[in-house]
Amino acid sequence: MTDFERKLYQIFVNMSLYGKNPTLPELKRKTGKSEQEIREATKCLIRKGAISWDKEKKSWII
């Protein structure tokens, strides 16, 4: 995992502890990265099996 992927993963973990899903504007604010960079890193995390999206619950599975 890259440093940015680790940071993004930690944001997902921390927000899920409070029952929240991070929005794209929140991720942009917390990371200081562009939408494209966030989407690419999120896709990498999904490919690596670190996170997945639950369509029924509309939430991230860590």
pLDDT in the model for residue 48: 95
Matching CATH number, 3-61, of 1.10.10, 1.10.287, 1.25.40, 1.10.1740: 1.10.10
Read off the pLDDT of each residue in 1-10 and give the average, rounded to a whole number: 95
pTM over 0.95: no
**Which sign does the torsion angle of CA 35, 4, 14, 19 carry?**
positive
Ramachandran sector of residue 6 (left: φ over 0; alpha: ψ -120 to 50; beta: rest): alpha
Using pLDDT thresholds of 50, 70 and 90, give the confidence band for residue 38. very high
Domain boundaries, the chain: 3-61
Q: Left (φ > 0), alpha (ψ -120 to 50) or beta: where does 49 sit?
A: left
Q: Supply the DSSP string of 23-53, one letter for each residue.
A: -HHHHHHHH---HHHHHHHHHHHHHTTS-EE
Q: Return the SS3 of 59.
A: strand
pLDDT band at 23 (very low <50, low <70, confident <90, very high): very high
